[in-house]
Structure 1
Amino acid sequence: MPPTKRLLYAKQEPRKQPVMFEPVQEIAIYMHRFHNLDLFQQGWYQIKITMRWEDGRNTSPGTPARVVQYEALDLGSDDIIGIWRIDDKENSFSTQPFRIKYARQDVLLSVMISFNIPFRKFEVPATSAVILKFELLYTSILENGNDFQASLEALPSAVHEFRIPPKGLLGLHSYLPVHFDTYHAVLVDSSVHVTLLKAGAYTPPKKVSSDTLRVGDAARENCDKSNQVLDQGAYGDSKQISLLKALLIARDILLEELQKLSKAIGQKVDLTDFISNMGESKLISPYLLGDPNMASIGLSNVTMGMKNAASEPQNSFEKPNGSFYFRSDEVLQSLTKENLSSAFLSMGNQLSFLWNVFLKFHRANKTKILEFLRDAWANDRRAEWSIWMVYSKVHMPHHYLRSGNDLSSQHSVRGGVSIAKKLNDDPAESAQARAELHRRSIAQMRINNRSVQDMHIFGDPLRVPVLIVERVTNAPFRTTSGNSYFSSLNLSDTPSILIEPNIMAVKRLSAAGTHRNDRVLRVVVFVHGFQGHHLDLRLVRNQWLLIDPGAEFLMSAVNEEKTSGDFREMGSRLAEEVTSFLKKKIDRMSRSEGFRNIKLSFVGHSIGNIIIRTALTELVMEPFLKYLYTYLSMSGPHLGYLYCPNSLFNSGLWLLKKLKGSQCIHQLTFTDDSDLQNTFFYKLCKRNTLENFKNIILLSSPQDGYVPYHSARIELCHASLWDYSKKGKIFMEMLSNCLDQICSPSSERRTFMRCDVNFDTSSHGKNLDTFIGRAAHIEFLETDIFARFLMWSFPELFQ
């Protein structure tokens, strides 16, 4: 046989197959408890979780990888049946079915579920976000076994989705409050923990040669194909380097988060095994150095390795002490394939080990970690939601107010043409134009951060209400002559709550009522509007409950179906209802632990605000006036309808007076007496109904055609400036009296804010409600995002 022929069939040494690695995204969800805020129906509920890539190009969904039940549930209880379940067909996880019987009920879940999401080839770090989907499953019929769980899955009643942006996929630990929707108001206390891991190692299988293929050719073909996967020229090398850098960043983030959590909760993290098992290739991390909460495991050796590595020129990969230290692309690109594989293997092992350390640490300290993450989340809300909030410092137009009967001074007070032109502008139209301009600027924003994004808000940012918040400090009050003159305010010289939020107040949000001072009786009274229902303000109540779980809430029902009568009668009924409620709560606390203080707050919608102010003039309320705390007015006609620019609404009011004979409508429109100085509203504004509140927030909307814009904001009506009749004088006196109460001196600093809420009413279309301004008036009751923004931005006002 010719020598060449023998060489072709000679036995050849098999070439070493390259080790191939694939990254995987691991996302762990810890669900602590299910808290029923406001579910309308009793029955059996379950929570189902799925996750997917946002862009949809990678059709591989997240698959449940592991489930850890931290605490054994009482399966013998009548309120919990079955066990949690993983559905391999739809790659979902479902909790045990549990029964909800009453409001503010807690169900302990205490379970950690981890999902793995594979990457597309050569796409690390991720360029797509991950969507977490929570579904609330419900059934009212108790079946047995599989039939019961099947009936639950057939009835998903609400969905809440979150988005983890690409930046967060390298490492993230965040609180995750799941609320579902306004019709299924619950709180699932959860947290999300994200890292990047090495999916595993494998060796590409050898191809089986056919009878006609020579052994030498087959070996060369196998080597070429396997190397092609790893090499792929410079492109393949760059992707391998990108993956290694991503693993390195993920490792450092995980170490940093472990250090942060360890310090925050005062518990050490044992990394002895981590350091001892780093092996020959030790990629040093700065987060291991100088941390007293990390285990003392001879970190001086690691520190010395860092110093040695730093002192040497950064042109090599492996240091004499066996440590890999690199931070530049130039160093990474100079690595051989063997070094890349070795570093990749080392990093993957380190990440896997650290991730298991974290999971063990989390299980041992789950409650403290959740509380720390919740405090951090609450502290970050103001910054994240500032996209839709405009903090404004404006000069109140007090210098436009007339002084007594001196009508001749009007032209001198108004000043020149520029001021007259300003007065001719419609404030409501100007406010709406300002909000729409801000909304257009939101459309140009690129929201690109690491934080988990609530898709109720970030799903369609242009549909979210825009809030313009104005804060006013105390102004000079009524002079000895009895006439008011308000000088303009230099707000730049005054510390503002809008610029320096009370951080300690945010941290006091901790999570549960047990961490609050239960010796302070905190009572919040909610009062509905015209022809309203006592549950109209339940969405605002729910947000307040999240801020202050220990508060007592009274949803006033005493005036249901009685809002057409006299305000005096409605106010008297409310005063009796409030005092009766307070006495019961005081008696209960006195018999238990007692209390040292009372905080009494009110929330009103529409004419409910007038009922509140009337109730405060009742004699039975006098002992409680010194305890008044926060007053939240939502579109309240505090100055009545003396000037109402909405002609259609004026026609409706006229019909109500003629056909229904509603006494409150006569009072609102100042037709309850021929002498304006004897009308109900004029006399109400002379009573001190606002002076005792520590915090006053007036919510208005320029889109609301049911309540005059100036009346909801208790501010100057420009039409009154040109009215030299007695009507104009009466309005100025009413406005002065109200502002004097708000700006009167007090022993404690009073917070006074006006807040414009600009709703997105595009979904309503062009209908009568939108045309006459009713849509925005009712939107205060049908959405809670504006309340969420306001309350979580200024939590110290609502606790």
Structure 2
Amino acid sequence: MSNKGIIDIFINVESFRNIDLYYQGLYYIQIQAFQENNTQKNFAVPIHVNNSIEGAFTFHSILDPQINYQNSSYLTKVFMIKYSDEIVKMNETIIFQIESYLYSNPDLTIEAELFFTDLGGDLSPESLAKFMNNPSTNTIFSKVGSSTFKCVDWKFGLNQFCPIVFHDTYACVLYITIHTILLDYIFRTDSQELSSTSQISHSLFPLCGRYVQDENIERVFKDYIMNLATCCNKIRRLVKRILKNCKTLGQNGAIKHSLKPPITFDGELPISKCFTIRNKKKVTRLLLNEKREVAERVALVRNELERVLKCFSGEMSRYLEEKYHDKVRNLSMEHIYREVQIGELNIVSEANHLQSRTARAYRKSLYSAKKDTLEAYNVRIFAPEKLAILFEEINIKSGELIDPWKAKWFCNTTVSSERHLFVLVHGYMGSGYDMKTLKDVLILYKPNLLVLISESNEKHTEGSIADMGKRLANEVIAFIHSLPEHVTVSRISFIGHSLGGIIIRAALPSLLEYKRLMYAYISLASPHLGCAQFSNILVEAGLWVISKIRNSVCIQQLTLKDCLSPRHCFLYDLAKTSKLQFFEKVILVSSSQDSYVPFESARIEIGLECPDTFQLEMADFIATNIRQLHRINVDFPIKPGLISDLHGRAAHISLLDNQSFLNILVYRFADFLNAR
């Protein structure tokens, strides 16, 4: 005997946005929904597709959306992408249905896969016409990306905005909303036949004889009828809210609703006191009748939701998107341990060895409790075992910490003439591609940003850091001058990884004309005080070999061996003429798991145990007059035993490509992304 809930899963596909797709061509997304238990998958069955944008052929609508019943998947319409930051309006809703045990089955998985073809390099109108006449998507399209979401607490009504993000070469995002509705219950025998009232009675009250007790009636009523009514009312509130918003905007004429009042069970008496009988079979009939009436109301609300998604897809997405960003911001802040200090900056500190242990314990508590997460979350970013944990120390010279936040910052897609320029600079022996993931994350949340990935020092990082700084400065000036006349740079911020953070500082004296625009300086594991001392002998030996074989001026400068006296070295002179006071905010990010760059050097700190006098002077030079300084130690969930972890490289690289960390960083400093 099995008692299952019948659940509809609405996935409303609102729009698609190109972040940084490298290839022009045709794209579509395949979506499946399923529950996974051990090695088995229970697929939700796609039953219907609503396509709100129907009509003549356009490049954004080459083939209509369809259902593939063979693998229980939904395929969005096929569309062409030709331009950067191109947006495709989708307005499609796929409805899946699944039968699920309500209290024992696992989470719901939503799996999206991105497919692409360039039609053999021929995207001419003739080639498109030939494809449309014989659309063999199975043979000419290749899967180029995937994204997986987990839905928790989804069986009694889930309504959430979800950005389905694809990364790497095919960086793009599909904006969807997910809605689940518990429609009814189905009772089957072990042979999958519908159960009789007598069988249902025994299933609902397995420990009762001929008569049932009050507490058993209360339990069944709560588990089956109250949960059904709760789900109905949750969807009803959402539909009513969207219709109210649309009415305010003057758009309500497109749909007339017939929403009935919410389901209530009035009275102070327990439901069991409303039953004058206790015969198990008769009580079962009464409960089934009550369930049937509630299910009829659920069906009406479900139909209203379908109509609203068809008419007001954009409004639904915008309403839930703001709530989504608020929730993610709150969750991100929960993953940050913060300490605020007002007054003079402390440059001599004692390492906190408990932070790593704290991070592991926190991750473990989240994983075991499955709490403090989104109802539907990207497993690559929000899964407890993937979370980066941040320990932030904030120093403000005077005043108080202002920590503004508005979800609308991430929802506003209005293009302004005033733009915030972010300059991203790679590290030693790196390339601009190293910064691509960071760029994609910035553009994902704030399309209006200007992002310059520096390429002027590719293949030149063996030389003098001063020369690298001049090349970077010239590159920034040339980029600003190349902008259209209607675009005004209102802020300039820099993010440098490893050596890149030092190159930025070396470029600042050549960028004095833009001093008033400089807003934020962010270094990711940059050795501001040099690399004279290492915690990993393998790294130290490797740098010594490189400096000898390649005759690397840069390595000599970073290890403070470019002059006989440390006080005549390049980094010491750079510290004496530091220009970090130009910036309103300075953020120094590092990881105690990183052995490539000395931890204290990346934080502009001196260890309490053995401070070197000249490094103490360097730290003092750099820190002088910084108005607001953030020091962040990032703890990554790095699996022990990885080869890259033996010499600390895993954490060093994770500062550039760990999705959890980059997501938390963007939400933590969301106000930095604004143009003003």
TM-score for both structures, normalised by structure 1: 0.73
Contact persistence 1:46–1:152 (CA under 8 A): no
Distance 1:737 1:56 in 2: 59
- Structure-1 separation of matches of 2:490 and 2:523: 21
Task: State the 1:606 CA deviation.
Answer: 0.8
- Which of 49, 64, 67 aligns to 1:67? It is 49
Q: Give the conservation status (yes or no) of the 8 Å contact 2:345–2:397.
A: no
Q: How many angstroms apart in 2 are the aligned matches of 1:431 and 1:754?
A: 14
Letter in 2 for 1:39: L
Matched, 1:540 2:434: no
Alignment of 1:568-647 (within 5 A): 568-585=466-483, 587-589=484-486, 595=488, 598-618=490-510, 621-647=511-537
Is the partner of 1:707 in helix, strand or coil?
Answer: coil
Q: Structure 1 residues 75, 660: closer, same or farther in 2, change over 3 A?
A: same
CA contact (8 A) 2:257 2:304 kept: no
SS at match of 1:655: helix
- Quick one: structure 1 residues 398 and 574, their matched pair in 2 at CA, closer, same or farther if it must change by over 3 Å? closer
Matched, 1:697 2:555: no
Q: CA deviation at 1:706?
A: 1.5
Q: Secondary structure at the match of 1:557?
A: coil
In structure 2, runs of 5+ residues without a counterpart are 121-129, 207-216
Instruction: Give the CA deviation at 1:754.
Output: 1.4
Q: How many residues align?
A: 644
Q: Deviations over 1:469-508 (max 9, x none)?
A: 2222226xxxxxxxxxxxxxxxxxx7545xxx5233x322
| Alignment-derived partner of residue 209 in structure 2 | none
1:437: how far off? 4.4
CA contact (8 A) 1:698 1:713 kept: yes
Structure 1 equivalent of residue 212 of structure 2: none
Secondary structure of 2:6 counterpart: strand
CA contact (8 A) 2:342 2:397 kept: no
Q: For residue 324 of structure 1, what is the aligned residue in structure 2? A: none
Q: Do 2:48 and 2:96's aligned partners in 1 also have CA atoms closer than 8 Å? A: yes
Write the distance in 1 (CA, Å) between the matches of 2:369 and 2:342.
29
Find the residue that maps to 2:239 and give its secondary structure. Answer: helix
Contact map agreement 2:421 2:492 (CA 8 A) in 1: yes
Equivalences for residues 418-429 of structure 1 within 5 A: 427=351
Among 645, 655, 662, the alignment partner of 1:787 is 662
Whether 2:295 is the aligned partner of 1:348: answer yes
- 1:520-548 Cα offsets, whole Å, 9 max, x none, are 22111111111111121111111111221
1:553 aligned residue (425, 430, 451) = 451
**Distance in 1 of aligned mates of 2:280 and 2:418:** 64
Distance 1:602 1:443 in 2: 35
Structure 1 segments of 4 or more deviating over 6 A?
A: 199-202, 268-272, 311-316, 329-335, 394-397
Matched residue SS, 2:625: helix
What is the rounded CA distance, in whole Å, between the counterparts of 1:91 and 1:347 in structure 2?
29
Deviation by residue 1:548-603 (Cα, 9 ceiling, x = unmatched) = 11011111111111111111111111111101111222x5226xxxx5x6110111
Q: Is 1:192 paired with 2:192?
A: no
**In structure 2, distance between residues paired with 1:640 and 1:555:** 24
Q: Distance in 2 between matches of 1:667 and 1:720?
A: 22
Structure 1 residues 284 and 601, CA, compared in 2 at 3 Å: closer, same or farther? same
State the distance in 2 between where 1:317 and 1:589 align: 72
How far, CA to CA, are the matches of 2:232 and 2:34 in structure 1? 23
Out of 163, 167, 172, the residue aligned to residue 158 of structure 2 is 172
CA distance in 1, matches of 2:343, 2:603: 11
Q: What does the per-residue CA deviation read over 1:170-203, in whole Å, with 9 as the maximum and x for residues that have no partner?
A: 112110110134453211011111111137999x
Aligned to 1:465: 388
Which structure 2 residues correspond to residues 34-113 of structure 1 after superposition, within 5 A? 34-55=16-37, 60-72=42-54, 74-77=56-59, 80-113=61-94
> Is the 1:631–1:693 Cα contact (8 Å) retained in structure 2?
yes
Q: Which residue of 2 aligns with 1:216?
A: none
What SS does the corresponding residue of 1:762 show, helix, strand or coil? Answer: coil
Residue of structure 2 in register with 1:529 after alignment: 427
Q: How far has the Cα of 1:94 moved from its partner? A: 0.7
Does the 8 Å contact 1:69/1:111 carry over to 2?
yes
Question: 1-side partners of 2:459 and 2:41: how far apart?
Answer: 55
Aligned twin of 2:226? 245
2: CA distance, partners of 1:648 / 1:37: 39
* 324, 330, 338: which one aligns with 1:377: 324
Q: Provide the residue aligned with 1:503 in structure 2.
A: 405
* Cα separation, partners in 2 of 1:735 and 1:245, compared to 1, 3 Å: same
Asked if 1:129 is matched to 2:129, the reply is no
CA distance in 1: counterparts of 2:203 and 2:7, whole angstroms: 26
Greater share of strand residues, 1 or 2?
Answer: 2
What is the alpha-carbon distance in structure 2 between the residues aligned to residue 526 and residue 248 of structure 1? 52
Do residues 148 (structure 1) and 46 (structure 2) align? Answer: no
* SS of match in other structure, 2:485: helix
Q: Secondary structure at the match of 1:169?
A: coil
Match of 1:739 in 2: 623
How far apart, CA to CA, are the structure 2 residues paired with 1:660 and 1:253? 66
Distance in 1 (alpha carbons) for counterparts of 2:574 and 2:13: 51
* Structure 1 residue identity aligned to 2:482: K
Query: 1:125·1:246 contact (CA, 8 Å) conserved in 2?
Result: no
Task: Output the CA distance in 2 between the equivalents of 1:450 and 1:688.
Answer: 43
- Confirm or deny: 8 A CA contact 1:48 1:136 kept in the other structure: yes
Q: Which residue of 1 aligns with 2:572?
A: 682
1:57 and 1:650 mapped to 2: Cα distance?
A: 47
SS of the residue corresponding to residue 564 of structure 1 reads coil
CA RMSD of aligned residues (A): 3.6
Q: Which amino acid aligns with 1:135?
A: E
| Counterpart Cα distance in 1 of 2:506 and 2:282 | 80
What corresponds to 1:210 in structure 2?
A: none
In 2, are the aligned partners of 1:603 and 1:634 still within 8 Å (CA)? Answer: yes
Equivalent in the alignment of 1:161 = 148
Q: In structure 1, what is the Cα distance between the partners aligned to 2:517 and 2:82?
A: 34
- Alignment map for 1:226-265 (pairs within 5 Å): 226-232=196-202, 235=205, 242-263=223-244
CA shift at 1:51, angstroms?
1.0
User: Normalising by structure 2, what TM-score?
Assistant: 0.86
The verdict on how the C-alpha distance between 1:341 and 1:429 changes in structure 2, with shifts beyond 3 A counting, is closer
Shift of 1:232: 1.9
CA separation in 2, counterparts of 1:776 and 1:46? 35
Question: Aligned to 2:71, what secondary structure does the other structure show?
Answer: coil
Residue 671 of structure 1 and its aligned partner are, at CA, apart by 2.2
Corresponding residue of 2:370 = 446
Q: 2: CA distance between counterparts of 1:233 and 1:380?
A: 39
Q: What amino acid does structure 2 have at the position aligned with 1:151?
A: T
- Structure 1 114/434 Cα, relative in aligned 2: closer, same or farther at 3 Å? same
Residue 450 and residue 467 in structure 1: after superposition, are their counterparts in 2 closer, same or farther (change >3 A)?
A: closer
User: How big is each residue's C-alpha offset from its partner over 1:293-337, in whole Å with a ceiling of 9 and x where there is no partner?
Assistant: xxxxxxxxxxxxx9xx5488977659xxxxxxxxxx999999844
Larger radius of gyration: 1
Secondary structure of 1:71's aligned partner: coil
Q: Aligned-pair distance for 1:698?
A: 1.1
* Contact 2:345 2:395 survives alignment (8 Å): no
Seen in structure 2, the aligned counterparts of structure 1 residues 613 and 93 have a Cα distance that, compared at 3 Å, is: same
Query: Which letter does structure 2 place at the counterpart of 1:614?
Result: A
Structure 1 residues 37 and 675, CA gap change in structure 2 (3 angstroms): same
- Residue number in structure 1 paired with 2:125: none
Q: Say which SS state the counterpart of residue 603 (structure 1) adopts.
A: strand
Q: Distance in 2 between matches of 1:200 and 1:47?
A: 32
Structure 1: state its 5+ residue gaps. Answer: 1-19, 208-221, 276-281, 286-305, 319-328, 402-421, 476-493, 722-727, 744-749
Q: What is the CA–CA distance in structure 2 between the aligned matches of 1:106 and 1:38, rounded to whole Å?
A: 12
Q: Secondary structure at the match of 1:83?
A: coil
CA contact (8 A) 2:591 2:634 kept: yes
Deviations 1:714-770 (A, max 9, x none): 11233543xxxxxx3221111111111314xxxxxx4x211112223327x343x42
